[in-house]
Structure 1
């Protein structure tokens, strides 16, 4: 799966990029992939938990209980969010830590938000 490679508009004060001009096929594919990654309640919760954690980083071991799912299932959801460009993953010993990619949520918001 591709990561989020959506171009940024220099002047975001004009209007939402989605309505400023028609999307080409590649941009539509990228945006759809990105939105699909967010279009799952578990992934939204995981993203929120990571983003609101101290230092905007969380160990996978701390994400299991809040969502009530098994480690393989949580890891799958985190992989989808990582591949979509929302999270980064670092390994420390046997545990994986996830952090929010700076600006990732704002980039999606710019596609959908009109001033």
Structure 2
């Protein structure tokens, strides 16, 4: 993997998962999508889900537009959710950080190239 700013900065095998954790809000989707475009590979959201937003978030007083992400983006579903009326947001500082659960080889609706997305920790 390399970045646009420094093509030789970092190299990892193609199947190395790349996660990003940001606020569950429009700014978080912009940051996520910017990183996703910069690294040129699929980035997985970590602790950035509709389920977490619905369970722990609050409807903001002022609404702003989330990033416009293509359907193949790792943050597409969250950006669609945040564009809707009544969508809840959450600052990442309100969550206790946990490592992503990385499982290889099983394929389901939340996978890409056979790698599963992180599952929501039981305490959240």
Same fold (TM over 0.5): no
Higher RCO, Cα 8 Å, sep 6+ = 1
- TMscore range, shorter length: under 0.3
Q: TM-score, normalised by structure 2?
A: 0.22
Identify the structure with the greater helix proportion: 1
